[in-house]
């Protein structure tokens, strides 16, 4: 099964005209005149993404505050792509906040890329998520590629894992999970560190 966005949103002629008339800089994104276009983008992408955040794959809430239209290439960096629908995907607000304006491209561009090669992180339209990250027990994110690893780092996906959840995941563990526990030691809060070390000790006993 494919787990990427297969069809980007296509603005209607009327919407395209509104964008032409009212958009000149990336800060225009928040203008009320674009509200209905954004609602249509969200409705379209919810179906394309099976209502999952493009980075953590958690289910998106149905309140407007629980879903963000994420600019894969930050609009502050390339404002020309603010309404480029291939650059838009739905994320949870937490992933969007964590990813923020971190640069996602390996090399500067003029035209929007036609594939995911130039991206450091998983591109929701170009990359199949499961080629890059495995999610174990719905809480442990295991990178399969450097893109997967960068996505985990960019969005701080380790934030979704409590020590208790890791322990549960470990009970059904695989060798890669132990490795992942060791890697995640670098990112864990100091208060969780001791507990995590105990889990690892237990795992290698
Ligand atoms: Zn998310």
> What is the 202 CA–ligand 1 centroid distance (Å)?
30
State the pLDDT at residue 158.
84
Give the pLDDT mean for 169-187: 68
- The answer on pLDDT for 173 being more than 60 is no
Cβ atoms of 192 and 167 closer than 8 Å: no
State the pLDDT at residue 204.
60
Q: List, as own/partner pairs, every contact residues 103-106 make where C-beta atoms lie below 8 angstroms and the sequence separation is at least 24, other chains included.
A: 103/74, 103/77, 104/72, 104/73, 104/74, 104/154, 105/73
Distance linking the first and last C-alpha atoms of the chain = 38
Q: How far apart are CA 32 and CA 187, in angstroms?
A: 39
State the pLDDT at residue 189.
75
> Can you tell me whether residue 165 is helix, strand or coil?
helix
User: In this structure, which residues have their CB less than 5 angstroms from ion ligand 1?
Assistant: 53, 55-56, 92, 95
State the pLDDT at residue 183.
73
Can you give the pTM of this predicted structure? Answer: 0.81
> What is the 204 CA–ligand 1 centroid distance (Å)?
31
> What is the 159 CA–ligand 1 centroid distance (Å)?
10
- Answer with the residue of higher pLDDT: 174 or 94: 94
> What is the 144 CA–ligand 1 centroid distance (Å)?
18
Cβ atoms of 69 and 88 closer than 8 Å: yes
State the pLDDT at residue 7.
97
The percent of residues in the chain predicted with pLDDT above 90, rounded, is 70
Give the pLDDT mean for 16-22: 98
What is the band of 182 on the pLDDT scale with cuts at 50, 70, 90? confident
- Answer with the residue of higher pLDDT: 205 or 149: 149
Where are the chain's structural domains?
A: 13-120
Instruction: Output the average pLDDT for the chain.
Output: 89
> What is the 156 CA–ligand 1 centroid distance (Å)?
10
What is the band of 196 on the pLDDT scale with cuts at 50, 70, 90? confident
- Answer with the residue of higher pLDDT: 153 or 203: 153
Structure confidence by residue, pLDDT tens digits, 105-128: 999 999 999 999 999 999 999 999
> What is the 152 CA–ligand 1 centroid distance (Å)?
10
> What is the 94 CA–ligand 1 centroid distance (Å)?
6
What is the band of 73 on the pLDDT scale with cuts at 50, 70, 90? very high
> What is the 25 CA–ligand 1 centroid distance (Å)?
27
What is the band of 53 on the pLDDT scale with cuts at 50, 70, 90? very high
Handedness of CA 62, 123, 99, 25 (dihedral sign): negative
State the pLDDT at residue 1.
53
**Residue of 68, 59, 127, 62 lying closest to 99 (CA atoms):** 68
> What is the 201 CA–ligand 1 centroid distance (Å)?
30
């Amino acid at each position: 099964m494919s787990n990427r966005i297969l069809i980007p949103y296509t603005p209607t002629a009327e919407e395209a005209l509104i964008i032409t008339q009212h958009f000149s800089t990336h800060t225009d994104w928040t203008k009320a005149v674009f509200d209905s276009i954004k609602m249509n983008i969200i409705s379209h992408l919810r179906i394309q993404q099976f209502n999952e955040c493009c980075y953590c794959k958690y289910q998106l809430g149905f309140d407007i505050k629980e879903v963000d239209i994420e600019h894969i290439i930050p609009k502050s960096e390339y404002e020309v792509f603010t309404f480029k629908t291939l650059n838009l995907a739905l994320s949870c607000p937490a992933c969007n906040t964590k990813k923020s304006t971190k640069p996602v491209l390996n090399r500067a561009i003029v035209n929007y890329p036609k594939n995911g090669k130039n991206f450091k992180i998983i591109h929701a339209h170009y990359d199949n998520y499961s080629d890059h990250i495995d999610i174990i027990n719905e809480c442990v994110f295991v990178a399969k590629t450097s893109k997967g690893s960068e996505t985990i780092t960019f969005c701080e996906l380790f934030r979704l894992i409590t020590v208790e959840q890791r322990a549960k995941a470990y009970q059904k563990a695989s060798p890669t999970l132990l490795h992942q526990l060791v890697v995640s030691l670098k990112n864990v809060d100091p208060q969780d560190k001791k507990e995590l070390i105990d889990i690892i000790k237990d795992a290698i006993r």
